[in-house]
Amino acid sequence: MEVIIKNNYEEISKLAADYLINTVKAKNNAILGLPTGSTPIGMYQEVINR
């Protein structure tokens, strides 16, 4: 497991969005288990904005 520490919520949201987008682009039939609740909202918003 890799632990990544960022300075703030915005930075980690962008990194998570990058990871999600790159995974789907690399493997368009990828099976994803996505989190719910308020924690991942920044990541989802970043994906939408792209």
Write out the chain's pLDDT in tens, 50 residues: 999 999 999 999 999 999 999 999 999 899 999 999 999 999 999 999 99
Enter the tokens of residue 39.
């924690």
Contact 4, 15 (CB under 8 A): yes
pTM of this structure = 0.81
Q: How many CB atoms lie within 10 A of CB 36?
A: 7
